[in-house]
A and B are shown apart, each in its own frame.
Chain A
Amino acid sequence: MTAAVDAQPAQRRASFSRIGWVGVGIVGTVVAFAAGAPLLTPYRPTAPSGAPLAPPGGEHSLGTNAVGQDIASQLLAGAQVSLLIAVIAGGGSLVIGAAVGVVAGWRGGHTDAVLMRVVDLLLATPRLPLLIVVGAYVGASLWAVAAVIAVTSWPPGARVVRSQVLSLRGRTHLRATVGFGAGTWHTLRRHIVPEVGLILIAGLVSAAGRAVMIEAGLSFLGLGDPSRTSWGAMIRDAIDFGGLLYTDAWSWWLLPPVLAITVLLLGFTFAGLGLEEAVNPALRRHRAVPA
């Protein structure tokens, strides 16, 4: 495909590209592993279950860390945490963002102005330091972490939804609907939500990816749920271990969580790219990677 500059006729049919399917495949694999965790490993991720720093093979298929915890069960537990966060925090931020966006776009006027100032304020604030200070106060259960992530990461979604609603609001069929006396709730449910629905799904995937990245980062910094094993916390523990680089332990202790988080995030990115292109065919013109 050399069609980067020359305009080609936009394909009307919403199609899902190959890269999108790769992403869905990756995320699906992680979901399968997380769901099958009890069948795949007999050990508890938080309890010591063998000799410290045992290399992979034998009773511990992926080895153990410095306190003798089974790496395989830790990886699977980490997958569960990441996916839970993806659903709870990603979904939560999307719900808040969509609600704010719809209200701002539909009501307009002062409501819109105030809400958009809040969005600007949150977007101007560097997110990680904000998350650290709020996270330190709120506490470290999985739910609290998810809530903090959701509450600080909704503004981009709100902006997108607002601009969609603004452009919908002026269209004839919506003016007619309101003219016929339809209530706000009815209009929102029957006309607005179906129209922005596809964009919401694309938004959900990227919000989920961001949430996973942030959760791993927070638990890397020591702000995660201490009763669960997260990939971020695994990376932290491995790096904190003084002798990590003097033995081969890095290859089964540090490398697997690093690869796991990277691959899962790539999966979300690919799925998001595929969805975005399916929703917005205009994007296809500027890409270099063939679909």
Chain B
Amino acid sequence: MHAPKALESRHALDEWSGAGNPAYRDPLVGSVPFRARRRAAWRTALWSVLQYLVTLLCLVTVVFLLPRVMPGDPLSALQDPESGLFFADEQARQEVLAYYGLDRPLPVQYIDYVTGVVQGDLGWSISRNQPVSTLIAQHLPWTLLLMGLALGLASVFSFVAGVAAAWWRGGLRDRVLVSSLTGLQSVPEYALAAAFLLLFGVLFPIFPLYGARTMFVEYGSWLDATGDVLAHLVLPLAALTLSLLGAKFLLVRNSVLSALGTEYMMLARAKGLPERLLKYRHAGRNALLPFLTVLGIQAAFAVGGSIFVEAVFAYPGMGTLVLDAVEARDYPVLEAVFLTLAATVLTINLLIELLYARLDPRVGAE
């Protein structure tokens, strides 16, 4: 869908002014009639949204089919007084059975299920005996907070570090950055979080280790409240950010490296531009578009990472919800967690794709 190569430049001057730079606007593109470009852009956007919806529907279908095709399925165990999963609680059992609608034909069940999910009905939690959507609403904000901040921080750090490493290519600082961040990529999030737990729990006990807020505390002002939430956020956030650094760092480093040898960099240098401008505006800019793509891919990793990190620090997001649900084999909760997190990741990716089309003048231009 995206144009793979820069458009061919018509003038020798283009070579000098940066036609090799993906962020550069080629005069050719500007000459395509404005309305035609608009229409093409709309078509691209519409297509992305359509793909997004189809993917979501596929995932909902998988979740619908899973309990119905698995051998020794938990649904029949729920109704069997002999089994360990049998619900003694009459109301909960009726709620669960009504939710799955097992007495009706499969297509009817499917349509009911999809309509329910679209309306925000995610089922009934077996272990907590309340609607799953309530549980999700309680836990999702904490995960989004943790994930969003970690992705943002990791983006800034990895961008700066990537540009710096490419700038000092081959030097000691470059080698230290590359080997430490590559190594960090193969440390699993739960191991990283456990290391943080030990480091700050045993050696430097300065940050709270569990939860997202101090329990049973009445805050004097919103400032106290924010401070408390931030203090609890430090360790999980640090662990998750570190685990996300590696991939983007290597990408930025490589894009900047390939920009360094180009002629537009030589020209910029010859113009006597200050180093900061050369680094970030000319070389670093090359990395922005692939950077966005990787950010989308990383959203999926951040979701997994935050589940682990939250599990270690008992942070009240989706991770702790998953942990409890796994222990109780609370299938509706696990399914809902999967659907919510998948929808979050897909939405982030859709937004990035739409943004990409706006940032890259080549998308939708042909």
Contacts and interface: CB of A to CB of B under 8 A. Distances in A.
B59 to A, nearest CB: 6
Given A245-B201, A254-B198, A138 B303 contact: no
Interface in A258-288: 258, 261-262, 265-266, 268-269, 273, 286-288
Contacts of A221: 307-308, 311, 322-323, 326
Given A2-B170, A221-B307, A133 B257 contact: no
Given A128-B304, A133-B338, A258 B323 contact: no
B214 interface: no
A40 interface: no
Interface string A127-152: 11110111011100000000000000
Contact of B195 (A258, A265, A290): A258
Given A124-B55, A217-B308, A239-B197, A130 B338 contact: yes
Contacts of A5: 169, 257, 260-261
Given A121-B55, A132-B326, A222-B323, A266 B183 contact: yes
Given A124-B346, A222-B323, A266-B186, A134 B66 contact: yes
A216 to B, nearest CB: 6
A232 interface: yes
A136 B329 contact: yes
Contacts of A254: 194, 198
A221 B165 CA distance: 36
A3 B189 CA distance: 34
B211 to A, nearest CB: 14
Contacts of A130: 338, 342
Given A137-B66, A209-B186, A250-B202, A129 B191 contact: no
A176 interface: no
Interface string B298-315: 011001100110011000
Nearest to A287: B178
B149 interface: no
Contacts of B345: 124-126
| Contact-size category for B | 35 or more
Nearest to A272: B186
B168 to A, nearest CB: 9
B187 interface: yes
B175 interface: yes
A129 B341 contact: yes
A232 B202 CA distance: 21
Interface string B117-155: 000000000000000000000000000000000000000
Given A124-B55, A245-B202, A132 B178 contact: no
Contacts of A235: 190-191, 194
Contacts of A252: none
A137 B74 contact: yes
B70 interface: yes
